[in-house]
Each structure stands twice: as C-alpha cells, then as structure tokens.
C-alpha cells in the first residue's frame, strides 16, 4: 500500500451540500456519515470503512426475494387489477417470438397498445427477446417507450424472471437504454438491482455511477466509490469510473471532495491514474490558485504513485501551466507561438482547445479566429467538434444567432463529417436563440418544442425528450419586476428545492427552512452558487433577514471567494435594518436618507477595485431610491465606462435604470433626453417591459402637468415601432432557423432510419439461417 499524503495542508472547508431531495436518501434507510477530507487516526479509517460496508449491505445487497416465483396474476402489483390476461407460452411462440427476434418496427407499437388499451401483458422473459433485438438495432427510444408502460409491472422484475442469466441481460439492456435516453432515474432503478448480481461489468458500473450523480445522489455515489475501491475483486473499477466522479466534483468546484477522492485512488486504485484524470485534478487546482491549494498540489505531485506516471515532465503538464500563466499575464501570445512546435500532435490539439476557451472567456473574437486559423494550418491536427463548440459558445454569449447558424452551415457544407447534434449543441442552439431575441422567449419555446418533439427525431436522438424538459423555463422577475431575462427551469432539482424553501419562508418557518439546508449538508457535494445567491436575494427582497444571515454564514464557510453582488445584497439588508432602527427612534426621513447614502458611498470606496458594470448599476439603482443625485450620477457614469458598448443587454440595463432614476427625481427633461438617447442607440434591447414602463411614466408626468409629455409620446411611438420591427426580425430569424434545423434533422433521422433498416435486414438474414426450412416466414 502506498504511503498517504501529509495531512497538514488544509484546504478551506465548507458545507458539503447537494441539491438532491432529502427524501431520496432517507428512503434507503441509510445512516449518512460525511467522509472527512483529512485523514485521522487509523481506527477512524477502519470505522469509516466499516460504516460504508454496512451502508452498502443495507442499500444495495439485501437478500433477494425467491427467484423462482412464477409470473402469475398474484405476482403483479396490486394496482394492476385491470389486467385481464397475460400472453401464454403457446400464443407467444406462435404469434410473437419470430417478430420479437426480428425486431419488427410495428412490434413496439403493438406491445404498448396491448398493455395500455387491452390490458394484455407480456412476461419480462418474453419481452427480453424484443428488447435484445431493439438493443442490437440501437433503438433505445423504443426500449424506453416500452419501459414507460411497464414501469409498475417491473418494479420487482427480479421476482418475475427465474433465469439468472436472463435477469442479468435484462438489467444490462435497461441500464444502457435508460442512460442513452438520459432517464437517469430509470437507469438508477435498474442499477440498484444489477449491483446485486454475482458478476459485474465495469461499463454498467460506470453508467450506474453516472446515474447516481445525475440524480444528485452524491453521498451514495461517493460512498459506493469508496466501497468499490475496497472490494475490487467484486467491483471492477476503471479509469472511466474515476473520470466520471472527478468530472462531477469539478462541476461543483469542491476541492475538498476532489482531494478525498483522488487520494483514495492513489492509495487503493487498481492502476496508476491516467493523464486525463490527473488533468482534471491539475486544472481544478490551477483554477483556484490559492496558497493552500498550491501547496497541496505540489504535495500531490510528490506522491510516489503520481511520480511514477512522470506527469510533471509531460506535454500536458506544460500546456496547463502555460495556460495558467497566460491567464495571469505572466506569458504572452508570442510565448505560446514558440511553445506550439515543441508539443506532440495530441497536446497541440489540447493546447488549441484551452486557448479557445480562454479567448471565449475574454471575449476576444480576433484571437478566437486566429486560433482556428492556426488549427486549420496545422497539418497534423484536425479541427474537431469541441473546437467548433468554443466559437459557438462565443456566439451564444453575444446572442449572434445569424453568425451561429452561418458557422454551422459552413462546417456542414465543407466538412464531410460535419457537426453531430448532441445535448450540448442542442443547448447552444436554444440558448443562442434566446440571447438573440429574449422578447420572443415564449414564441421560441413553442417553435422549438413543435419541431423537436417528434418520434422520428427522438428515435435518432434518444436524449431529445429529456433535453426538451431541461430547456423549458418559467419566467421569474428580477428586483425591478422585469421578467425578460430572469428564468429558471422547473424540472431541475435545485429549482424544486428553491421553491420549497421559498414557500416555507413565506409562512415564516425559518427553523424549518434552516433544517432543510442542514439536511442538504449531509448529502454530499455542495450546491451551485446560483442556488444560494437566488435564495439569499429572495430573502432580502421579502424581508426574511434572519434567513439571509444564515445563508451569508453558509456562503462564507463554503466558498473561497464571495462575488461582490452578494456583498451588495448584504448592503441592502443593512440599509433595511438602518431604516427600521431610525424609524423606531422616530428620526426624520432626511436623516435616514443621508445615513443610507453615506453607507452606500462607504461601500463603494471599500470595494472600488472589485466593482464591475453590473455592480455599478445595482449600486446606482440602490442609491436612486434615496435620491442621491451626486452619487447616482457618479455610479451611472462608471457603469457606462465599464460596460461593453456592443452588448445590448448591458445598454438595456443602464437605460432602464436611468429612466427609473429620473422618474424618482421628478426630472422630465432629463427623462426625455435619456429617452431620445435610447432611441438613437441601435444596440439597446427593446422589451415589452420597457415599453409598458415608459408608457406609465409618461402618464405619471402628464398628471404633474409636465410640458414635455407630447415630446415623450413621440419618442414612445418610435420605441414602439422599433419593438415591432425587432419582433418581426426575430420571428423571421426563428422561422429561418427552424427551416434549417428541420432540414438537418430530417437528414440525420433519415440516415439513422436507413442504418437501422440495414441492421434489421442483417438481423432477419441471420435469423433465417438459424431457423428450420419449415418455419414460418419472417416479414
């Protein structure tokens, strides 16, 4: 056994929290214990391993029911009382067996119809014949369709299949199929049955581990990983197993868990970690670039097993260190050009990818294009889809839908392989459309669903149904009431958790809300920062200040650096407390206004070096509530200087805030002047919310007998016409996009169908060769 790493280096710890439901873990009747990041005495390690072993025995390996239970009406779930009959063996052999073995297209519809409408049931063993054929044909979507109607009947499928080999094959097919359609709840369900079988395949272990992680069941995934390392004679773990877990840990930006998992592999792993897995760890430590993380990474590099890999002398190590220095300004692009010829072909391709990601982050379009040209000119490096994805990511950020579609068309026409529609590209298409025309969000969603929600496409792209669910957003208002850009997905686990806590807070049950958050702390990884921030903003907006303080403490203990926007939320909370105290002391409004503006001004001075465009807008809007004219002018001026002049969303936020500010100050001339500037700036988004706000503001000024209202109405009409033109332009762009996507999808679906048909002909040919001459003819 390799020696452990020194435990003196401490990485800043916080709550390890995941977003999965507490109920999901509770139903496993499992005592959860957090796996500590720092190793204690050996007896603690033994206790931890013992607890994990007990947990696995309870959760995964409880004794199976009697395997030879007959498939009868009595063995079906009690709720299935409407089932009238099952297909007997004679009828199945005479009418169905050959059709199932041939994987006939019509069979799937017949099976589903008989189960749903005629209440006629096939046994799992009978359906296994069809499922096996569908798997050979890669018709995972059809396998999932069958599963959806047989879900309740298969809740205890292990009691309905007497043959252990059949059961094992059945479970493997279902894990693979549900993973392909991204129904990770179904994949986890069958994985929990598969894990009890005597012989396990690492490919299906990896699928099951991914399902646990996708379902946010992090504590199960982590403990199961530890158990597998301790029982490798039963659980064959691979580099892929480690890669899956490390990838999800990195998504959570959890260095403590990363440290724990990777050190476990170094101590107990069956092989040395490969370059890809070491890269995942290396990149994450470079990302945070803290003193403690650097110390730990250097100690990690000195580990005997890691030294054996010679990673520190590899091109990959050189590339990552160079990219980190480039990001920090320690090296230049000229140095990068000198480095490129020294690298092997594979690492040059990797360097190009890292450069593209870096330039996308910096919004440097010129360097993105220069890097793509460099790749095209490199005879040994092929321009791959992940390279194109970086450029598409830039277009998504900027809402450049025309350029986005144009690039896809160019690649499809010039490259024989073209781009493959995968979940990430699907997300990019949807997101770029929204960023380009946020005022058409509802129309875009209707068009996208109408296009993609077709069985023909879902057969070619099994993951499409789940992807559609994850792209369905509901409108949420920001602090101004504007719903144009604020949105969240109702299907995501963090959104469900957020809604649950918000409802509890509305009823004033702070202790219950805190308890739910603490329960989350026992489930594994910490949640996304966005969940904490959104919940804290809700608390501040609605006056739930005690809960806001709890969240503030949690944020500080969980995250290494706190964004300035969180500090601004705390500033708002402190302003509300100050107002309450001064009113309680019966101080005049002028005293409260003056004290509040001083607090804001002090905050600006203390955080001046960290403020960005959005922070200046937030602070200016906050100061405008107290009519701090001088401070607001200064903050708005700063926001204009720091904003990206080509970003329509930034311009929209500035003008929306300025218009509200001049209404508060009752300055119609300034309001009119700002309205004219808005109409003269072509980059600004024009939204329905902005139109309605301007309309109400004009009515407000008119009630004050303002002489500028006629001129305001003229500007409003210009704005309204501009909004109409934007909508028409957007509808045309979406129509063009839908036409292109339909053509592309039809082509891909036709290719898939042709390939499936050829495979089915081969399957029938093979079947005919196996049958006697007098057997019934296969259609």
| pLDDT-based confidence at residue 553 (cuts at 50, 70, 90) | confident
Please state, in angstroms and rounded to a whole number, the distance separating the CA atoms of residues 635 and 614: 11
pLDDT at position 30: 33
Portion of the chain with pLDDT greater than 70, in percent: 84
Closest CA to 253 of 36, 530, 522: 530
Distance of CA 727 to the CA centre of its chain: 29
Question: Tokens 């230049």 map to which residue?
Answer: 332
Residues 584 and 551 sit within 8 Å (Cβ to Cβ): no
Closest C-alpha to 733, from 398, 402, 393, 397:
402
Long-range (24+ apart) CB contacts under 8 A made by 188-195 are: 188/212, 188/215, 188/217, 192/59, 192/60, 193/157, 193/158, 194/168, 195/60, 195/61
Whether residue 397 has pLDDT greater than 70: yes
- Phi-psi sector, 777: left (phi>0), alpha (psi -120 to 50), beta: beta
Write the pLDDT tens digit of every residue in 600-637: 999 999 999 899 999 999 999 999 888 888 999 999 99
Mean pLDDT of the chain: 85
Q: Where are the alpha helices (DSSP H) in 33-163?
A: 42-59, 89-91, 97-102, 105-116, 124-136, 140-150
Residue 350 or residue 488, greater confidence:
350
Which pLDDT score, from 0 to 100, does residue 456 have?
92
Beta bridge partners, 517, equal none
Q: What is the pLDDT of residues 427-450, one digit of tens each?
A: 999 999 999 998 898 899 899 999
Average confidence (pLDDT) over 118-136: 94
Contact 484, 689 (CB under 8 A): yes
pLDDT number for residue 69: 37
- DSSP-based three-state secondary structure for 65: coil
Chain centroid to CA 576 = 35
CA atoms within 13 A on the CB side of 260: 22
Distance CA 200, CA 186 (A): 19
Dist CA 258 CA 248 (whole Å)? 10
Lookup: tokens for 231 = 């029982």
The pLDDT tens digits of the residues spanning 197-256 come to 989 999 999 999 999 999 988 888 999 999 999 999 999 999 999 999 999 999 887 888
How many angstroms separate the CA atoms of 36 and 204, rounded? 28
Q: Strand pairing of 85-86 and 120-121?
A: parallel
What's residue 627's pLDDT? 84
pLDDT of residue 136 exceeding 50: yes
Residue 3: left if φ>0, alpha if ψ -120 to 50, beta else—which one? beta
- Which residue has better confidence, 459 or 217? 459
Torsion of the alpha carbons at 707, 708, 713 and 719, rounded to the nearest 10: -170
**pLDDT at 41 (0 to 100):** 38
Cα–Cα distance, 777 to 283 (Å, whole number): 60
Q: Is the pTM of this model over 0.85?
A: no
The average pLDDT across 263-287 equals: 94
Q: What is the largest CA-CA distance in the chain?
A: 102
Please say if the pLDDT value at position 518 is more than 60: yes
Q: What is the distance between the alpha carbons of residues 455 and 449, in angstroms, rounded to a whole number?
A: 12
Q: Is the pLDDT of residue 467 over 80?
A: yes
DSSP per residue, 7-36? S---PPP------S-HHHHHTTT-------
- Give the pLDDT score at 287: 86
Q: How much is the pLDDT for 522? A: 61
Give per-residue pLDDT as tens, 725-748.
999 999 999 999 999 999 999 999
pLDDT band at 520 (very low <50, low <70, confident <90, very high): low
- Decide: 353 and 346 in contact? Cβ < 8 Å: no
Report the C-alpha gap between 667 and 646 in whole angstroms. 29
The pLDDT of residue 403 is above 70: yes
The SS3 call for residue 757 is helix
Count of CA atoms in the C-beta half-sphere (13 A) of 569: 26
CA–CA distances in Å: residue 645 to residues 61, 546, 635, 640, 652? 61, 40, 17, 8, 11
| pLDDT score for 523 | 59
Location of structure tokens 């875009």: 444
Q: What is the pLDDT of residue 10?
A: 37
Mean pLDDT of 446-456: 92
As a whole number of angstroms, the distance between CA 444 and CA 685 comes to 17
Asked if residues 18 and 219 have their Cβ atoms less than 8 Å apart, the reply is yes
pLDDT higher than threshold 50 for residue 367: yes
d(CA 227, CA 51): 10
């Amino acid at each position: 056994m390799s020696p452990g790493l020194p435990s003196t280096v401490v990485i800043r710890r916080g709550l390890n929290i995941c977003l999965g439901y507490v109920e999901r873990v509770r139903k496993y009747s499992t005592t959860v214990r957090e796996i500590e990041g720092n190793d204690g005495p050996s007896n603690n390690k033994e206790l931890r391993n013992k607890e994990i072993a007990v947990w696995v025995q309870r959760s995964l390996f409880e004794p199976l029911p009697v395997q030879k239970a007959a498939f009868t009406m009595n063995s079906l779930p009690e709720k299935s009382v409407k089932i009238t009959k099952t297909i007997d063996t004679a009828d199945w052999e005479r009418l169905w067996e050959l059709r199932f073995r041939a994987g006939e297209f019509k069979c799937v519809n017949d099976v589903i119809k008989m189960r749903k409408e005629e209440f006629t049931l096939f046994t799992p063993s009978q359906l296994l014949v069809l499922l096996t054929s569908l798997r050979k044909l890669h018709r995972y979507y059809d396998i999932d369709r069958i599963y959806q109607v047989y879900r309740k009947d298969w809740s205890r499928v292990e009691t309905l299949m007497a043959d252990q080999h059949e059961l094992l094959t059945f479970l493997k097919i279902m894990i693979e199929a549900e993973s392909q359609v991204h129904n990770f709840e179904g994949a986890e369900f069958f994985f929990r049955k598969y894990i009890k079988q005597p012989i396990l395949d690492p490919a299906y272990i990896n699928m099951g581990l991914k399902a646990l992680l996708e379902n946010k069941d992090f504590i199960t995934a982590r403990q199961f990983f530890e158990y597998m390392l301790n029982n490798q004679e039963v659980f064959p773990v691979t580099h892929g197993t480690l890669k899956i877990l490390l990838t999800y840990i990195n998504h959570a930006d959890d260095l403590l868990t990363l440290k724990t998992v990777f050190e476990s592999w170094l101590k107990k792993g069956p092989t040395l970690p490969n370059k890809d897995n070491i890269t995942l760890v290396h990149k994450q430590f470079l990302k945070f670039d803290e003193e403690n993380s650097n110390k730990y990474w250097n100690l990690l590099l000195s580990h005997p097993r890691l030294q054996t890999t010679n990673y520190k002398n590899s091109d990959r190590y050189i590339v990552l260190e160079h990219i980190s220095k480039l990001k920090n300004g320690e090296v230049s692009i000229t140095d990068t050009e000198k480095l490129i010829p020294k690298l092997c072909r594979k690492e040059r391709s990797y360097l190009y990818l890292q450069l593209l990601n870096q330039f996308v982050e910096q919004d440097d379009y010129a360097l993105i294009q220069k890097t793509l040209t460099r790749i095209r000119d490199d005879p040994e490096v092929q321009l791959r889809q992940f390279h194109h994805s970086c450029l598409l990511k830039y277009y998504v950020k900027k809402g450049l839908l025309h350029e986005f579609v144009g690039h896809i068309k160019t690649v499809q026409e010039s490259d024989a392989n073209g781009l493959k529609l995968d979940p990430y590209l699907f997300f990019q298409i949807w997101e770029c459309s929204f960023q380009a025309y946020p005022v058409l969000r509802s129309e875009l969603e209707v068009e996208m669903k109408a296009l993609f929600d077709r069985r023909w496409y879902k057969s070619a792209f099994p993951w499409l149904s789940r992807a559609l669910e994850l792209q369905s957003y509901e409108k949420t208002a920001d602090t101004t009431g504007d719903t144009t850009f604020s949105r969240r997905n109702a299907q995501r686990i963090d959104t469900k958790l957020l809604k649950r806590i918000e409802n509890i807070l509305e009823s004033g049950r702070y202790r219950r809300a805190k308890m739910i958050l603490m329960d989350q702390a026992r489930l594994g990884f910490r949640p996304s920062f966005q969940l904490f921030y959104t919940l804290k903003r809700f608390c501040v907006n609605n006056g739930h200040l005690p809960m806001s303080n709890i969240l503030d403490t949690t944020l500080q203990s969980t995250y290494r650096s706190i964004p300035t926007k969180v500090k601004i939320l705390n500033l708002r909370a402190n302003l509300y407390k100050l107002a309450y105290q001064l009113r309680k002391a019966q101080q005049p409004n002028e005293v409260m206004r003056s004290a509040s503006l001083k607090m804001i001004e002090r905050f600006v001075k203390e955080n001046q070096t960290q403020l960005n465009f959005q922070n200046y807008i937030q602070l200016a809007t906050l100061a405008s509530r107290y009519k701090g004219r001088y401070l607001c002018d200064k903050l708005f001026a700063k926001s204009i200087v720091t904003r990206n002049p080509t970003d329509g969303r930034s311009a929209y936020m500035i003008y929306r805030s300025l218009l509200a500010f001049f209404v508060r100050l009752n300055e119609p001339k300034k309001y009119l002047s700002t309205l004219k500037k808005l109409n003269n700036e072509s980059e600004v988004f024009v939204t329905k919310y902005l139109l309605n706000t301007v309309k109400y503001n004009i009515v407000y000024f008119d009630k004050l007998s303002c002489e500028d209202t006629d001129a305001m109405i003229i500007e409003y009409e210009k704005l309204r016409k501009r909004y109409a033109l934007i909508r028409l332009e957007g509808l045309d762009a979406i129509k063009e996009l839908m036409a292109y996507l339909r053509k592309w999808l039809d082509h891909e679906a036709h290719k898939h169908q042709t390939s499936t048909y050829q495979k089915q002909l081969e399957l029938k040919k093979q079947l005919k060769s196996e049958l006697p001459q007098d057997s019934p003819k296969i259609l």
